[in-house]
A and B are shown apart, each in its own frame.
Chain A
Amino acid sequence: MTDHITHHILSVLVENKAGVLARVSGLFARRGFNIISLAVAPTEDERFSRITIAVDVASVPLEQITKQLFKLISVVKITELDPREAVERELLLVTVDAPAASRGQIIELVNVFEGRILNVGHERLTLSLEGHPDKLDDFAELLRPYGIAELQRTGRVALAKLDNSSTRLRPVRAS
């Protein structure tokens, strides 16, 4: 992992109501904040959903992003995760050209990365890989020369690392 961090992860607890995702994404668009990735899912409490947003902090200070987000009535809580102190995971699905000549090399790559082969066709393979987003980047890059037909990623989800997590989880306060 690089020392120069250009993104941060915001774990945003929102009310589970219609249009909340549009409010959040609309705010990013209007204020000129960049989203690197975004994942939304319900939480253990059905009143709330959790949005995990990787934000670009190279152009806008994180503080301004969190303060503006917090102004949305539907945003209940924001937790900021420093990538160095978080566990991040993402899922990638990819369909890659795999004629007989290159099929063996691709399968070898899947094994090295501990990915899985989900579907086998005459000329193509569909693969999956779960892991840190950086690992997914590497995997996609190595597959590219073989010819990627389709690629889909989920966007990252993240939780704070457990050791010393009390000091690393920093809830964003309104002040």
Chain B
Amino acid sequence: MQLNGSQALIKALEMEGVDTIFGLPGGCILPVYDPLLDSPIRHILVRHEQGAGHMAEGYAHVTGRPGVAMVTSGPAATNIVTPLCDAYMDSIPMVVITGQVSTGAIGTDAFQECDTIGITRSVTKHNELVTSAQDIPRAVREAFHIATTGRPGPVLLDIPKDIVDAKNPNSAMDWYWPDDREVRDGLPGYKPTTKGHPRKIREAAEMILRSERPVIYAGGGILKARAADTLRELAELCDIHVVTTLMARGAFPDSHPLCLGMPGMHGNYTAVTSMQRADLLIALGSRFDDRITGKISAFAPDAKIIHVDIDPAELGKVRRPDVPIVGDCRLVIEELVAVLKDLLAGGSAFPERTPWKQTISGWQEKHPLSYVQSEPGDALKPQFVLEQLRDNTPDDCIVASGVGQHQMWTSQYWKFEHPYTWVNSGGLGTMGFAVPAAIGAKVGRPDAMVWAVDGDGCFQMTAQELVTAAAERIPVKIAILNNAYLGMVRQWQEMFYEERYSEVYLSPDLPDYKLWAEAMGCVGMRVDSPEEVTAAIQKANEIDDRPVVIDFRTDSSEKVFPMVAAGASNDDIITDPALGKDIVQ
């Protein structure tokens, strides 16, 4: 069958099961937008290419399927670099298609030409400049294969205009669709290991059976591997507590008696300290990020490490594991559970762990998450807003966040009961992630309620995508925790720069968020006092035909606690000084 390159590209995306493309057309990608008119694929027309990338990420976060974004060359390609880097850091499967100037013009500084492949090389799992129309089906097939297998990540295809332009003879091609074997043969350097080494798994099982103070350190890899159920089976079989990192919130239910919640720089006291005092950390799809470990030389000093990851380069990158296991988390945990069951059936038993459990419950009682509720007439506390939002939404509600204080409070105060209900930018820490990511999540899961919790600083970075959401009837709900500051930076300046506030004030009224929301086709609301909070949330929940934005005016002096200062040991965790506790050793 004779097709032109643009028809082949759209057909290849259809063959990959793509139902939605987030994008914005322009000169070089223009030919591809013509056959799109005849395709069942839904296209969401964004207002800025960064929005397309984050929407594709949000879609991938909640569905597990690769998000797809398509933009033109030059400035469009550079605008999507941030989402690519974000997806690379957080291992989000994504395929981005960029237009490029015609093959003959490459290298001539043509209009809207940039070295997209060079620019995106270090922020993609792989990228390819497709130089012939005949290569398009193969390139698309490989891109999806690479994006979704092994450690997932973003893949970019750069498509020169002449190979997709129906009027150009370079766009002629004979349609074909490569089978699995052809894809593997075409990628001789790509063979991800998924099955763990049986001897290592046995070593891990024996180590777990000897441990008196074990903690499971669950990371985002659990969610990527669809391993939440298997993780629960392991934790319950061995009766081991689980911490869920920022990327793993929802991988283990917060209501579970074995769940300790989030560890790290703003983790709760028990999650942080249990890791510090553990004699065994079972790291599953986690990567010993500096925000988790604090000062690495002081991190979990007595712990042996079992480290399971599909990416061999993570094993030993930060902390040398005693038992390294390369493999898919779900497959490895399943094997581990089987071996443990065998050993237990053969007479092995866990050591006495009652003292450890008592220690943990003692910490939980002594150091719960807490904040001081505002006096009547005083400013609204952001934590209170989150508690109300949590309690007035269904427990399968999807919540997205930007980056900063509001993100930490959301992760701390939300109760995640289900996997794939938390959408956030963990590794790169991209401000402005929330609005477009929530839109992408709602497109991927139209059945679910989707809230974004955003900061006022973040909101101003990508708010224009609410125009997209209003136009496309994507009813997301945005809670702005408006403290009129770049709050996390303000917190650091208060704590570490002697309250010298430099360039962090944003003003609560500029812009007027309610008017801005309404101008973008959303319902806008403003909430100043605690009494108004619940009613506003309930009203927002009832609106299902357009986006809603609530401007919550919150206390600008509120800080995120607990906190481990950057570079400090996790032993030096600071709980809220306002509660009369100083540095706890």
Contacts and interface: CB of A to CB of B under 8 A. Distances in A.
Whether A and B are associated in the same complex: the answer reads: yes
Interface of A: 14-15, 18-19, 22-23, 26-27, 30, 47, 61, 63-64, 67-68, 70-77, 174-175
Contacts of A77: 189
B188 A15 contact: yes
B193 A67 contact: no
Given A23-B121, A64-B317, A68-B313, A18 B189 contact: no
B326 A73 contact: no
Contact of B117 (A19, A63, A72): A19
A170 to B, nearest CB: 16
Contact of B326 (A23, A76, A175): A175
Nearest to A48: B188
A18, A27, A70, A71: most-surrounded residue (chain B CB, <10 A): A71
B188 A70 contact: no
B191 A30 contact: no
A135 to B, nearest CB: 35
A20 B191 CA distance: 18
A71 B311 contact: yes
Interface stretch (B48-56, B122-130, B543-551): B122-130
B312 A18 contact: no
B46 to A, nearest CB: 28
Nearest to B197: A175
B122 A75 contact: no
A71 B122 CA distance: 12
Contacts of A26: 121-122
A67 B313 contact: yes
Contacts of B312: 67, 70, 174-175
25 contacts: A14-B189, A15-B188, A15-B189, A18-B129, A19-B129, A22-B121, A26-B121, A26-B122, A27-B122, A47-B188, A61-B316, A64-B316, A70-B312, A71-B311, A71-B313, A72-B189, A73-B125, A73-B187, A73-B189, A76-B188, A77-B189, A174-B193, A175-B197, A175-B324, A175-B326
A15 to B, nearest CB: 6
Interface in B175-219: 187-191, 193, 197
Interface residues of B, number: 23
Contacts of A67: 312-313, 315
Contacts of B197: 175
A73 B190 contact: yes
A136 B312 CA distance: 38
A22 B126 CA distance: 13
Given A64-B317, A174-B193, A174-B312, 15 more contacts: A18-B129, A19-B117, A19-B121, A26-B122, A27-B122, A47-B188, A63-B316, A67-B315, A68-B313, A72-B189, A73-B125, A73-B190, A77-B189, A175-B312, A175-B324
Contacts of A63: 316
Contacts of B121: 19, 22-23, 26
A72 B126 CA distance: 8
Contacts of B118: 22
Contacts of A70: 312-313
Nearest to A71: B313
Contacts of A19: 117, 121, 129
B313 A74 contact: no
Interface in B107-127: 117-118, 121-122, 125-126
Contacts of A76: 188-189
A23 to B, nearest CB: 6
B126, B197, B313: most-surrounded residue (chain A CB, <10 A): B313
Nearest to A77: B189
A74 to B, nearest CB: 6
B191 to A, nearest CB: 7
Nearest to B189: A76
Which 10 residue pairs across A and B have the least CB separation, nearest first? A67-B313, A76-B189, A73-B126, A175-B326, A76-B188, A75-B189, A73-B190, A30-B122, A174-B312, A67-B312
